Amino acid sequence: MRSELVYEAGLKIENRFLLAATMMQATRKLHVNSTRTEDTVNRVLVEVANGARLLGKLPEVTPPPAIDILLITPAP
């Protein structure tokens, strides 16, 4: 079942957004027009669960900009 495949792939890539992005990228790259998309997705899930292909990468974390001291002026 696909839910089992998703669970097993989720053990390799814990971030759900990253898992979905990886699945989309891999499916686009590996899909052949003469096959069903569902079969390609299942094959990608198996490969991710086995650790064969991990296409997605986590983005670099950038610190938020510093907040300047707020100057509050009284109303006239």
19 contacts 58 by C-beta, under 8 angstroms: no
pLDDT recorded at residue 51: 81
Q: Structure pTM?
A: 0.62
pLDDT in tens, the chain (76 residues): 788 989 988 888 888 888 888 888 888 888 888 989 999 999 988 988 888 655 556 567 788 777 766 666 777 6
pLDDT recorded at residue 65: 73
40 contacts 31 by C-beta, under 8 angstroms: yes
User: Domain residues of the chain, as ranges?
Assistant: 2-49
Alpha carbon 17 to its chain's center:
4
At 33 the three-state DSSP class reads coil
pLDDT recorded at residue 36: 93
